[in-house]
Chain A
Amino acid sequence: MNNIIVMPMMLPVLLGIILLFLRPYVKTQRTISLLVFLANIGISIYVLQLIQQNGVMRLDFGGWQPPFGILFVADSFSMLLVLSSSVVAAACLIYSFSSVKPSFEKNFFYSFVLFLIAGVNGSFLTGDIFNLFVCFEIMLLSSYVLIAFGGRKRQLRESIKYVIINVVSSWIFLVAIAYLYGTVGTLNMAHLSERIAEVGQTPMITVISVVFLTVFALKAGLFLYFWLPGSYSVPITPIAALFGALLTKVGIYAMFRVFTLLFYQEQQITHMLIGILAALTLIGGSIGAVAYKDIRLVASYNVIIAVGFILVGLAVATPSAIEGSIYYLIHDIIIKALLFLLVGTMIAVTGQTRMDEISGLIKNHPLLGWLFFLTTLSLSGIPPLSGFIGKVLIGEGAVAAGAYVLLALAFISSIFVLYSLMRIFLTSFWGETIISKDEEVPAKKGWVVSTCILALGTIALGLGAEPMSVYIQDAAETLLNPQIYIDAVLGGN
């Protein structure tokens, strides 16, 4: 009886529904949604401890035994991601208290944020591939609503693109699931893994795995990222931060799960393909990050570089590279939220979106400036901040596997990250202060609190690498040995 592992998804759903009835009471809505995320943080830490003691946990919905019913499976990998998504969600929520218009708050804003997080957490936890599709849809449907909050012209144009891309890719996802079910005859991921191992990964199954790769590449922005910079630069700041931090990560998570648990036998085809796509993503993302002057676009291209970087780890697939990827995934969830919040704050304070129209911000906003500098350092991987260990481990893994091209591209892309953000720092924060203090919109307390929480998060993640490594090694071990996962799901009660 592990009912607790369903809570990270169902608590937000239940409270999100209750908030629909509390439409006029904005204060109550804020309190309840913040409490939900705090509860989720507590639950995920507790479950992580339980997994350390008892191994991978599962919950059969309605008591239906696997592989017949649907189920949630909690291993260290999923719980670490649930934990970081809850932290980020709480920080973005605090930010939105002081930046979202009351008219949005009365139009179910918090309910949809809760549903979005429910979908994200559900995708991390589910042990059934069709259920994964459903959780993706919960997440996407709420994101369709959230991306259009504001209703400006550019926003509506980008959200139509976003909706169409995602509807099409969800359709391909459904087709891929149908192919897989037609070939192997089951949908439970552990059972799928067992059956694919039994018959061997036939060419047919490899083709299906490439269809899955296409879907997740579209969702994660792996090479098929053409929709991403536009869509992620239009929503209101806290939503952009949630999108940048979480939505692509769900695609990356799905890729890790599917290509380590199900399709791991033909690595010279599938993982090679992932490697090529990751390399192209790194190149394209780096060019994009230095090509634009709109700071929101620069931030969005940084998301793409990170996607490429994390998937280098999956393409190489040595133990230390996988560990590094998990580490970097957690780091990137936190730091991308921070980056988007800071960029949004810069725009809110000055009213400009291009970096050359902003100058000398650091005089009136020293804290904002130094937080941005800290983010730059952390993203480019300067120790002791959190980006460092992930980069070292992925690099180590790439050297061990002899993937020198990927290694070189991954580290050159870090230089591009550093350059693109230092450019913003130098042009926008230094230089002559062109906007006087009374013309500026003063920074609000909620903005400072939420960005400081995330900044502390990145420092803590960097300094606390040693205690964290227990969980991360466990997560990597489960990913590399599918048998652990299969035994936990199919092996008795």
Chain B
Amino acid sequence: MKINNVILRTVAKLVFFIILTLAVYLFFAGHNSPGGGFSGGLVLASALVLLFIVFDIETIQKGLPIDFKLVAALGAFLSVGTGFGALVFGENFLTQAFDYFNVPFFGEIELTTVTIFEGGVALVVVGVVVTILLSISEDE
């Protein structure tokens, strides 16, 4: 059963990048305002889910040969790792650090370890959401 959904496919290809941009925006906005790793990750996962629905699962898995369970594991490792990173510097567990750096073109920017933590959270969300959806779709 193959429906001719040219419009859906064409739009999805465009919308995919718009959703990705929104996900990245939400992720960085979360540093000082609503947003963050969790919501950014959810939006990112929804972009992937859109691809899985519009094209079939096999096509996407051929294009994106990633084991999403490992994505979740990598995310959890990053998040917990920042907690342990504080121990190396003799600080309390989960202590986060930040500093300002001068980068050419962008000027002065703030780099923090919380961003790594949040990145981990985002990866966990993406990995878990996609894994759940793929395993539901497996047993028909």
Instruction: Among B77, B92, B93, B95, point to the contact of A10 (Cβ < 8 A).
Output: B93
Is A61 an interface position by the 8 A CB rule?
yes
Chain B 49-65 near chain A by CB (<8 Å), digits 1 or 0: 00000000000000000
Contact A6/B93 with A13-B80, A14-B84 known, Cβ cut-off 8 Å: yes
Which residues of chain B are near A62, meaning CB under 8 Å?
86, 92-96
User: Closest Cβ of chain A: how far from B18's Cβ, in Å?
Assistant: 33
Residues of B within 8 Å of A20, CB to CB, are 69-70, 73, 76
B74 → chain A closest CB, angstroms: 8
User: Which residues from chain B contact A63 at a C-beta distance below 8 Å?
Assistant: 91-92, 95
| Min distance, Cβ A349 to any Cβ of chain B, angstroms | 36
Within B65-104, the residues touching A (CB, 8 Å) are 69-70, 73, 76-77, 80-81, 83-84, 86-87, 90-96
- Binary interface profile of A, 381-424, with partner B (CB < 8 Å = 1, else 0)? 00000000000000000000000000000000000000000000
A53 to chain B, nearest CB (A): 21
| Chain A residues positioned under 8 Å from B86 (CB to CB) | 62
A151 CB to closest chain B CB (Å) equals: 13
What residues of chain A lie closer than 8 Å to B94, measured between beta carbons? 61-62
B83 touches A21 (CB 8 A): no
Instruction: Specify the chain A residue showing the minimal Cβ separation from B83.
Output: A10
Select B93's contact among A17, A18, A21, A59, beta carbons within 8 Å: A59
In the bound complex, residues from chain B placing their C-beta under 8 Å from that of A21 are 70, 73
Q: Report how far A14 CA is from B80 CA in the complex, Å.
A: 7
A427 to B44, CA, bound (A): 62
For A434, the chain B residues whose CB sits under 8 A away are none
Q: How far, in angstroms, from A3 to B93 measured CA to CA in the complex?
A: 6
Interface flag for A158 (CB, 8 Å)? no
Do B77 and A59 have beta carbons less than 8 Å apart? no
A62: nearest residue on chain B (CB-CB)? B94
Kindly list chain B residues whose C-beta atoms are within 8 Å of the C-beta of A164. none
A:3-47 near B, CB below 8 Å: 3, 6, 10, 13-14, 17-18, 20-21
B92 pairs with A1, CB closer than 8 A: yes
Q: Kindly state the separation between the CA atoms of A20 and B69 in the bound complex, as whole angstroms.
A: 9
Closest Cβ of chain A to B50, distance in Å, is 27
The answer to whether A17 touches B76, judged by C-beta atoms less than 8 angstroms apart, is yes
A46-80 CB mask vs B (1 if < 8 Å, else 0) is 00000000000001111100000000000000000
A486 to chain B, nearest CB (A): 21
Count of chain B residues near A, Cβ 8 A: 18
Query: Is chain B's interface secondary structure helix, strand, loop, or mixed overall?
Result: helix
Describe A's contact surface by its main secondary structure: helix
Contacts of A13 in B (CB 8 A): 80
A1, B73: Cα distance in complex, Å: 29
Please, which residues of chain B bring their CB within 8 A of the CB of A18?
Answer: 77
Question: Contact partner of B80 among A3, A17, A59, CB < 8 A?
Answer: A17
Instruction: Please give the distance in Å from A137's CB to the nearest CB on chain B.
Output: 15
How many angstroms between the C-alpha atoms of A457 and B95 in the bound complex? Answer: 38
**Roughly how many angstroms separate A13 CA and B73 CA in the complex, as a whole number?**
11
Q: Residues of A contacting B77 with CB < 8 Å?
A: 14, 17-18
Complex contact B92–A3 (CB within 8 A): yes
CA distance A13 to B84 in the complex (A): 11
CB distance from A355 to the nearest CB of B (A): 39
Distance, CA A13 to CA B77, complexed state (A): 9
Instruction: Pick the residue among A10, A17, A61 that contacts B73 (CB under 8 A).
Output: A17
A60 to B90, CA, bound (A): 13
Contact assessment for A3 and B87 in the assembled complex, using a CB-CB cutoff below 8 Å = yes
Q: How many angstroms from the CA of A6 to the CA of B83 in the assembled complex? A: 11
* Distance A21 CA – B73 CA, assembled complex (angstroms): 7
Residue of B nearest to A20 (CB): B73
Nearest CB of A to B99, in Å: 16
Per the bound structure, the CA–CA distance linking A3 and B83 in Å amounts to 11
- Bound CA span A13–B83, Å: 11
Cα–Cα, bound, A60→B95 (Å): 9
Cβ contacts under 8 Å, A10 to chain B: 80, 83-84, 93
Q: Are A59 and B92 in contact (CB under 8 A)?
A: yes
Q: Inside 8 A of B70's CB, which chain A residues have their CB?
A: 20-21
The residues of B that contact A60 with a CB separation of less than 8 Å are: 92
Apart from A13-B80, A20-B69, A59-B92, what 6 extra A-B contacts exist at CB < 8 Å? Answer: A1-B91, A17-B77, A21-B70, A61-B93, A62-B86, A62-B96
Residue pairs across A and B with Cβ atoms less than 8 A apart, 20 shown, are: A1-B91, A1-B92, A10-B84, A14-B77, A14-B80, A14-B81, A17-B73, A17-B80, A18-B77, A20-B69, A20-B76, A21-B70, A60-B92, A61-B93, A62-B86, A62-B92, A62-B94, A62-B95, A62-B96, A63-B91
A-contacting residues of B (Cβ < 8 Å)? 69-70, 73, 76-77, 80-81, 83-84, 86-87, 90-96
Closest 10 CB pairs of A and B: A20-B73, A62-B94, A61-B94, A6-B93, A63-B92, A17-B76, A17-B77, A62-B95, A63-B95, A14-B80
